Structure 1
Amino acid sequence: MKRIVFLDYVRVFACFLVIVVHASENFYGAPGSTDMAGPQSYLSNEADRLWVAIYDGFSRMAVPLFMIVSAYLLVPMKDEETMWQFYRRRFTRILPPFIIFMVLYSTLPLLWGQLDGETSTKDLSRILLNFPTLAGHLWFMYPLISLYLFIPIISPWIKKATAKEERFFIGLFALSTCMPYLNRWFGEVWGQCFWNEYHMLWYFSGYLGYLVLAHYIRVHLTWNRSKRLSIGTILMVVGAALTIYSFYVQAIPGETHSTPVIEIGWAFCTINCVILTAGTFLMFSCIERPNSPWLITEMSKLSYGIYLMHIFWLGLWVGVFKYTLELPTVAAIPCIAVTTFICCFITTKIISYIPGSKWIIG
C-alpha cells in the first residue's frame, strides 16, 4: 500500500512530542526524580512554570494525533475483511512488542537499582492486568487496543453515515470534552452522581470522537489546501494558547499541587486539546509531497519502537542535562527530548536489522 506522506510527518511529530511531554514532567514532579509526574506536582520557580506550561502544554496533542493517524488509515474496515482478520492483523503487530517491553520494564531496571525485586515480581505478575510501575507511558496502549476492538463495530455505520450525521456525532463529542470543566465549575451534571458515572454523553465521549473526526476529515472535508492551512493554523494557535494557559494559571511555584487538578486542560479529551489537535492535523494535511524524505519515512516506520523504549533513554539524559550540566529549563527540556529521540531512533534502527525484529519493535 502506498504511503500517505503527510501521515509520516504527523507520526514522527507526535512521537517526538510524547518525549517532550515526558521530558517536561521531570520539571514538575518530585524533586530529584527522573520518572514521569506523579499524583502531586511541585514547580521550583517561575522559569519552570513558564517553560513546562509551554513545552508540555503544546505537546499534549501527541496522543490524539496518534489516534487520528490510526483511524485515518483503518476506518472503516475493508469490505472483504472479517472482524477476526482485522483483529489478527492489528494485534499481531502491536501486542508482541507491547508484552516484550512490559517484561523489560519489569526487569531491566533491576540492573541499575531503579527497581527492587519485590516490585519487579509484582509487576511481572500483573502484566495481564496493567502496565509496570516504571512504564506509565504504556497506558496509551489500552485505549488504542480499545479503539481497535471497536473499529469493526463502528465500521458498518461509518460507511453509510452522511457528512451531516458525522458532524452531529462530532458535535456531541466536542460537547462531551467540556465535561471536565463543567464538573469543576458546576459539580455533577447530566445524570452523574456517586452511583452513576455514565452521563448523558458518555457514549459520544473519549477517543472514539477522534476516530470519527479522522474519517470525516478524510472523506467529507472538501476544503482546499489554502483553507485547511489558514483554519488549521488558527485552531492550532487558539488550542495551544488555551492548553498552555490552563496549566500556567494554576501552577504556582513553591506550592504542592494535585496533578489532575493543574493538568485539567491537558487531558486529551478536553475541548482545547481537540481544537489544538484538529488544527495541527489540518495543517499537516497540506503537505503534498509525492514522497517523504528517507529519514522521515524511517522514523515513521520505527515510531512504535521509539515510543516503547524512550523511557529507558529519557532518565539518562535528564540526569545529564538537568543535574550534571544544570541547563536552564528553556534549554534542558528540548535537549533531553532531542537526544532521547535520536538515541531511540538509532537503537530501533539497529534492532530492525535483527531477523524477526518486528516482534520486538513492531
Structure 2
Amino acid sequence: MHETKLQWADSLRALATVSVIILHVTAPLLTSMESLSNWWIGNIIQSSVRFSVPIFFMLTGSLLFDKEYAIDVFLKKRFFKVVLPFLFWSIPYILFSLVIKIMHKEHLDFFQVFMFTIDQFKNGSSYHLWFVYTLLGIYIFTPIISKWIKNSTNKEVLYFLSIWLITILYTYPIFSIFSTKLDLSHFTGFLGYAILGYYLRKISFENSTKKNLIAFILFFTGLLITIVGTFFLYKIKGKMDELYYEYLTFNVLMCSMGIYLYIKDKNIKSIFFLNFLNLINKFSYGIYLVHVLVLAFLTKAGITCFFIHPLIGIPVTSLLCLTISTLLIYIINKLPYGKYISG
C-alpha cells in the first residue's frame, strides 16, 4: 500500500483514469444531432470530467518536482516505466488501423505499410496517445526544472503561474485581441499544470472547511462556464465547437484546481473503496493506454452510450470498459516480464 500521506494522490489518479474513460464513452453524444436532450446529457457529463487529463499533469508535478535527479538515471527509469508500455500498446492500434484499411479494400504494399507504421509511431497511433507525447516532453525537462523549482520561492513560482494564466486567457477570442508580439511561449502548455500541481501540494489552508469551499467554488464556476459556453457556441455556430472543452482554458483550469484541492490531503476510510482505488491507481497508465482499443471492440459489439438510454448506456459502457481494461493489464502484468509492457 502507498504511504498514507500520498493516498490523496492515488485517489486523484484513479478518479482521473475513470473520468477519461467516461469522457471518451460520452463523446459520440456531442456529434449526434438526433436528440437535443442527448446532446445536453453529453455536454453536462463531458464538462464534468474535463479535469481528467489536467489532473494527470498536475500529479506529475506534485510527485516529481520536489526531488533532484541525475539525468541519466531519471530518463532510464522513465523509459522502462513509460516508453516501453507506450511502444508496446501502439502496435495493436497500428494493426487495428491497417485492418480497417484492408477492409476498405485499400491496396498497401510493403513500403506503404512500413511508412504508415513509422508515421503512426511518430505522430500517434490513436487519438488519446497525444497525452504520452506531451508527458514525455515534460519528463525530458523534469531533471532541469526540478532543480529550479526546488530552489525557488513561492513568489517566483507564482510569477511563472501568473504569466502562464495570461497565455491561457489568450485561448478565448475575447481576450486574444489583447495579445501582442511579446513572446510568452516559454510559459505556455501543459508544463504549467505540472508546476501548478507542485505549487498546490505545497500550500496549506487554515482549515479543511475553507479549502473545501474554495474547491467547490472553483469547480462549479468552471463547470457552469464550460456547460453554458459550449451551449452558446453550439447555438451561434449551429455545430459543435469544443473551445470550452480545451484543457488549456481558464474554465477547465478552475475545475481541475477544484478537484485537486478538494481531494488533496483526504484519506479514504472504507477498505473496499480504498482497495478499488488502489487497484485502478496501480494500473492507471496501462488502463489509459488500452481503454480506447477496448472501446473500439465494445463499439463493434454494439455496446456504446447509445445501446440504451445514455443515462444508463454511459455508466454501463464505462464500467465495462474499465473492467475489461483493468483485467487485461492485470493479466499481462502477471506474465513473465509483463510489468515492462503492461503500463
Contact map agreement 1:318 1:336 (CA 8 A) in 2: no
1:106 to 86, 89, 94: 94
Could you say which residue in structure 1 is the equivalent of 2:232? Answer: 249
Could you say which residue in structure 2 is the equivalent of 1:155? Answer: 146
- Percent identity between the two aligned chains: 24
RMSD: 2.6
Distance 1:191 1:335 in 2: 48
Q: Deviations over 1:24-53 (max 9, x none)?
A: 222234xxxxxxxxxxxx533212320111
2:130 to 135, 139, 155: 139
Distance 1:213 1:251 in 2: 31
Counterpart code for 1:44: E
1:316 matches 2:305: no
Counterpart code for 1:53: N
Q: Deviations over 1:221-246 (max 9, x none)?
A: 34432222121111111111112222
Between Structure 1 and Structure 2, which shows a larger proportion of helix residues? 2
Contact map agreement 2:90 2:121 (CA 8 A) in 1: no
Contact map agreement 2:229 2:244 (CA 8 A) in 1: yes
Instruction: Output the TM-score relative to the length of structure 1.
Output: 0.83
Distance 1:161 1:308 in 2: 35
CA displacement at 1:175 relative to structure 2: 1.8
Could you say which residue in structure 1 is the equivalent of 2:60? Answer: 70
1:328 matches 2:309: yes
- Which has the higher mean CA deviation after the structures are superposed, 328-337 or 230-239? 328-337
Could you say which residue in structure 1 is the equivalent of 2:3? Answer: 2
1:346 matches 2:322: no
Distance 1:75 1:114 in 2: 47
Distance 2:196 2:165 in 1: 10
Distance 1:179 1:223 in 2: 33
Could you say which residue in structure 2 is the equivalent of 1:87? Answer: 75
Instruction: Output the TM-score relative to the length of structure 2.
Output: 0.88
CA displacement at 1:269 relative to structure 2: 1.0
Could you say which residue in structure 2 is the equivalent of 1:32? Answer: none
Distance 1:120 1:15 in 2: 33
Distance 1:157 1:283 in 2: 28
Change (3 A) 1:253 1:159: closer
Could you say which residue in structure 2 is the equivalent of 1:296? Answer: 277
CA displacement at 1:66 relative to structure 2: 0.4
CA displacement at 1:191 relative to structure 2: 3.1
Change (3 A) 1:237 1:216: same
SS at structure 2 position matched to 1:251: helix
SS at structure 1 position matched to 2:233: coil
Change (3 A) 1:217 1:223: farther
Change (3 A) 1:99 1:160: same
Contact map agreement 1:47 1:329 (CA 8 A) in 2: no
- Which has the higher mean CA deviation after the structures are superposed, 245-254 or 336-345? 245-254
Distance 1:160 1:122 in 2: 46
Q: Deviations over 1:164-196 (max 9, x none)?
A: 222222222222111111xx236564335xxxx
CA displacement at 1:73 relative to structure 2: 0.8
Give 1:1-362 correspondences, 5 Å limit: 2=3, 4-29=6-31, 43-78=33-68, 81-108=69-96, 118=108, 121-132=114-125, 135-181=126-172, 184-185=173-174, 189-192=178-181, 199-252=182-235, 255-257=238-240, 262-289=241-268, 293-318=274-299, 320-322=302-304, 326-362=307-343
SS at structure 1 position matched to 2:122: coil
Contact map agreement 2:332 2:339 (CA 8 A) in 1: no
CA displacement at 1:356 relative to structure 2: 1.1
Change (3 A) 1:235 1:282: same
Counterpart code for 2:245: W
Contact map agreement 1:44 1:254 (CA 8 A) in 2: no
Change (3 A) 1:114 1:256: farther
Aligned residues: 333
Distance 1:318 1:208 in 2: 34
Is there any run of 5+ residues in structure 2 with no aligned partner, and where?
none
Could you say which residue in structure 2 is the equivalent of 1:38? Answer: none
CA displacement at 1:201 relative to structure 2: 2.7
